[in-house]
Structure 1
Amino acid sequence: MALRATRNDLGENAKKVSVSVLNATLADTIDLTNCVRMAHWTLRGPNFIGLHTMLEGFYNELFATADDVAERLVQLGGTPDGTSQIVAEKSRLPAYPQATTAALAHVKELADRFASLAKSVREGIDSTDEAGDADTADLLTGLSRDLDKKVWMLEAHLGD
């Protein structure tokens, strides 16, 4: 991976590890944003307005997260993998079932994907910290907390 020259004094290996982790996180975050939007647009059933409103907040927050992730990797000399074609190719999340309309089916699908991204982000925290990039590890730590909160909120809708 070729990086652009920057005045950032992190070592080359730390930059490469972080850019790789951040690009994987970016692809998954953009994909998850679109999954949440799909659910927001198509869900039907009990608790419609509450879920519809909650999911609008989720995708707006994910959009801001994707921006933070992309900007961090550019700071390190990387190029964001942010086009639709690259996201479709590189996302580690399973394809979202387009035919889903039942509110709780959407909630389950989203809970699974938020949990999957949270797990990957925690792995990225360890990788970037070990490589010596505490700032990227910190960015990912904040994202991890936010994803865990969203998993909890979605699980609460599913009940016991």
Structure 2
Amino acid sequence: MGEQLHATRLDLPEEIRVAVIRLLNQSLATALDLKTQVKQAHWNVKGPQFIALHEMFDEMATELDGFVDDLAERVTALGGTALGTARIAAAQSVLAEYPTDIQDGLDHVKALAERYAPFAHHVRAAIAETDELGDADTADLYTGISRAMDKRLWFLEAHLQAAR
């Protein structure tokens, strides 16, 4: 199957665990990438909304840290190996590269919204896929992440929906 699994008494069949582990590692890479992109915004934001955005971006990065850990731990609980280095994240992420030439707060908000939306889409698809595979626990993990991504996307978009 390509993926060497560690012995476990977990009762999900091996072929299901392998498929779920692949998906989780893709999500792990993307969540790590998104976290570093949020930190890029956190460090470099400028403008009249600086402190509010700086603090919000830091909260977002902290939240993503928790999801990164949850995703990695689910991989290992299923008998897999969590693949979470920066190089793997960069190679496997579904997100576009973050622009490094922006400073304005709303430009960062827009760039992050443009990354949260595809990650939210990825997570929703993962809910359906893991549910279809019969792994309700991983589907539930993804459901929690999905709710948080939708809420953060709402926070980001609320800044953009107001007239400048």
Q: Tell me the TM-score normalised to structure 1 length.
A: 0.97
Deviation of residue 46 (structure 1)? 2.0
Partner residue in 1 for 2:159 = 157
1:17–1:127 Cα contact (<8 Å) kept = no
Partner residue in 1 for 2:144 = 142
Structure 1 residues not aligned, in runs of 5+? none
Structure 2 residues not aligned, in runs of 5+? none
Deviation of residue 86 (structure 1)? 0.8
Partner residue in 2 for 1:7 = 9
RCO higher in 1 or 2 (8 Å CA, sep ≥ 6)?
1
Partner residue in 2 for 1:38 = 40
Partner residue in 2 for 1:100 = 102
Separation in 1 of the partners of 2:157 and 2:116?
Answer: 11
- Count matched residues: 160
The percentage of aligned residue pairs carrying the same residue is: 49
* Shift >6 Å, 4+ stretches: none
Deviation of residue 117 (structure 1)? 0.3
Q: Tell me the TM-score normalised to structure 2 length.
A: 0.95
Q: CA RMSD in A?
A: 0.9
Separation in 2 of the partners of 1:129 and 1:4?
Answer: 23
Deviation of residue 102 (structure 1)? 1.0
Which of 102, 121, 124 is the matching residue for 1:122?
Answer: 124
Moved more, 1-10 or 93-102: 1-10
